[in-house]
Amino acid sequence: MDASTPAKPDASEMAKPDASEIEYSPYQENTQLARYIEDYPRSFRRNPSQPFIERPLTLSELTGPLALEQRLPLTSHDLAHLTPNAPRAIGQYIEVAGRVMDEDGAPLAGCLIEIWQANSAGKYIHEMDRHEAPVDPNFTGLGRFVTDAGGRYKFRTIKPGAYPVTESAWWWRPPHIHFSIFGPSWMNRFITQIFFPGEPLNETDLLLNAVRDLEARHRLIFETTPTVVAAVNFLAFQRDFVLRGKHRTPELE
C-alpha cells in the first residue's frame, strides 16, 4: 500500500544530546480520565487507597526501551488484508493517520505503536471475549508500526463495531481502537483508546465521559480529515498524540 514506510531508527539517531533536558511533570488530572469511575467494574477494588508517592526522576525513569522493533516484529500497515492478496476484512475500510509529539509539539520519531481492535461485528480475537459475535477469518485486529522522522504514523483497517460489556446490564462500548505507544522514556510509556466522532454510544460510555474537561475529552476522538469525502475507497480519520515531556526552559532572572 502507499502508506509511507517509516525509516528504521537506530539508537544513535534517537540519542538526542539534550535528552536529559526533557522534564516530566505528573499528568494534570483535568486532562485525564478519573481514576475511580462508579459503575466501572473493579474500578474501586483496583485503585490504591494510599496517596501516590512523589519521587525524584533518576536515570532509571528517564531512560526507556528504544528501537523496540528489534524485539517486537512489525506488521503490515494494512490490517484489513492479512496478506496483500487476501480478501479484505468485512466492514468499513478506513485509514487512520496522525503524529506523535511531545508537549513542545516536537515530533517523536521511532516510537513503536501497537494497536488492537474489535472486528466490524464487535468481536476481538481474544480468549476473554465471550460476546457471541462472529469472528472474521480475514481479520485479527492487530497492528504494530514505528513513527517516521516526522513522528507520523498511518495505517488502514476496518472500522470496529460496538460490543456489550458482558458483566454490565446495559453498557455497550462504542467503536474504538486501542493504542499503545512507547515514547522515548519510561515516563511517557502511553496507553489509550480512541473513539469515532458522531457515535451515539459515545454519549453513555463510562470511560470516554470520565474525562470531565470537554476539550481533553475530544482528544480521545478521531477527527475526520478533508479526504474523508475525497478518497474513493476508504474513509480517513486522524488523531495526533501528545506524550508527556517538554524541554526545560531557563528560569527567568
Confirm if 221 and 195 have CB atoms less than 8 A apart. Answer: yes
For the bound state, the minimum distance from the C-beta of residue 252 to another protein, rounded and expressed in Å, comes to 11
| Closest C-alpha among 59, 183, 191 to residue 110 | 183
User: What backbone phi and psi angles, to 5 degrees, belong to 125?
Assistant: -85, 90
Residues 169-198 close enough to bind another protein by CB under 8 A: 178, 180, 186, 189-193
Stretch that binds another protein, among 37-45, 77-85, 86-94, 229-237 (CB under 8 A): 37-45
- Tell me the pairing of strands 112-117 and 176-182: antiparallel
CB of 230 to another protein, least distance (A): 27
Residues annotated as catalytic are: 124, 163, 173, 176, 178
One character per residue 193-232, x = contact with another protein (rule: CB under 8 A): x-------------x--xx----xx-xx------------
Of 19, 135, 149, 231, which lies in the binding site for another protein, with binding defined by CB under 8 A? 19
**CB-nearer residue toward another protein: 211 or 236:** 211
Cβ at position 69, least distance to another protein in Å: 12
Nearer to another protein, 16 or 229 (CB): 16
* CA triple 31-115-211, angle to 5 deg: 20
Within 13 Å and on the Cβ side, how many CA atoms surround 85?
A: 0
Binders of another protein in range 123-162 (CB under 8 A): 124-129, 140-142, 144
Among 4, 20, 168, 204, the residue binding another protein under the rule CB under 8 A is 20
As a three-state string, the secondary structure of 183-242 is: CCCHHHEEEEEEECCCCHHHHCCCCHHHCCCHHHHHCCECEECHHHCCCCCCEEEECCEE
